Structures are given as structure tokens and as C-alpha cells.
Amino acid sequence: MNEVENKMTTWIGSDFHWGHKNIMHHCPATRGHYRDVAHMNEDMCQRWNSIVGQNDLVYMLGDIAFMSGYDASKIISGLNGRKILIIGNHDSKSVRDYNFRKCFEEIHHYLEVKYNDRRLVMMHYPLMEWNQCHHGAIHLHGHLHQNPSGLERYRARNVGWDFTGRFLSTMEEIIEDAMRGEIKRHGNGEQPVM
């Protein structure tokens, strides 16, 4: 497990979908106001660079872009901060591209870190159970856009813009919110329905 030092701002987000025309229709609350994909892409880059500093760290929990890895790399390389990618279902082709891969310090399918003494389990997809969930570990995911996972009562949080309404969240904001959730019991501690 990696130990993350908190000497800069650490951000987290998911499901950016740069270049995805249909996302404007699928997620109208956050993206319905864009004129076209170029407008969305430009605004998202401006949003990012207005809040992320050069030395900040950003965990990107998948579904970065709907374009070639090379074209996505041109966008990502212009974004402030150091980036760690947790691969989403729409990233499988992009990660084959060298230019895309070199935009990230690390690339994972699943990642566990300790952040300010909290165990975090990150994956693009929501997990019904995650490592140490019954000991209070926090699960961070994306994938569902504006749809709830059913895990919100526990220490599991969708960090995507379309769900939170925040383009990026600080790790502290997400952890504080997650800590309001119940500790998920192993197997949920419920008796099976017969």
C-alpha cells in the first residue's frame, strides 16, 4: 500500500469523457449547456487548470476521453498537476498509446492508498465489498455518472462530476463526506433472505 504525503492539494474525480458528444445528452445537469464537444473540452480544461496547481496530485478514476489515446494525450498533457490513472472501461484503447501513458505518474486498475491515516480503495467501478470495508476503509469510484450505487449509506463515494456536481473534489472533502457513512459489515452482516 502506498503512503501519500499531504504537502500539496490532492484532488480526485472520474468520468471526464473529453471528446464524448453523447455525454452532453446523457448528463444534462452538468454538461447540457455546452454548444458542442469543442466547447465542452475547452471549458473542462479551463476548469481543471483554474483549480489544480502545478504541484498538486490528481487521482483520475477512469473514463478520461472518447478519442484516440494520442489526441487525449494532447489534452491531458496541458492539464496542471501530477496525475494517477485508475483505468475505466473507456480507457482500454487509450492506455495502449505511449503518449497517453506518459501523461500519468502511475496507471492502475485498482489502487489502495493510505491518506491521512485513512485506508482508501479506488477503482473505476463500485464494489459491493472492498478490502477492509468492515474496518472502516473508504471506497472511491466513478462509472455511474448521476446514478446512485446503493452504497451511499456506507463509506463508499462516487467521485464523478456528474454525481457530485463538483468537477474535481479535494481528497479531504470526499473523505469527510465518506466518514459520515456507516462502516459496512462483512457480508453486510445481514441474514440471507430465504
What's the rounded mean pLDDT across residues 74-103?
Answer: 95
Q: How many CA atoms lie within 13 A of 3 on its CB side?
A: 2
What's the rounded mean pLDDT across residues 14-25?
Answer: 90
Q: How confident is the model at residue 188 (pLDDT cuts 50, 70, 90)?
A: low
Return the residue matching grid coordinates 463526506: 177
C-alpha closest to that of 160 among 172, 147, 150: 147
pLDDT at 146: 77
Backbone angles phi, psi at 149, to 5 degrees: -90, -20
Q: How confident is the model at residue 28 (pLDDT cuts 50, 70, 90)?
A: confident
78 CB neighbour count, 10 Å cutoff: 11
Q: Residue 169 and residue 11: Cα distance in Å, rounded?
A: 6
pLDDT at 148: 72
What's the rounded mean pLDDT across residues 71-89?
Answer: 97
The amino acid present at 63, given as its one-letter code, is: D
